[in-house]
Amino acid sequence: MLKKIIILDRDGVINLDTHYPHKINEIIFMPYIFDVCKYLTNKGYELAVITNQSGIGRGIFSNNEYLKVRDWIISKFEEHNIKFLEFLHCPHKPEINCECRKPNTALYEILKKKYPIDLSNSWAIGDRDTDVIAANKAGIKNTIFIGNQKELKVSIDSNIVKSLEEIKNIIH
Show which residues are catalytic.
9, 11
Q: What is the DSSP string of 19-65?
A: SS--SGGG--BPTTHHHHHHHHHHTT-EEEEEEE-HHHHTTSS-HHH
Strand order in the sheet with 159-161: 84-90, 46-52, 5-8, 123-126, 142-146, 159-161
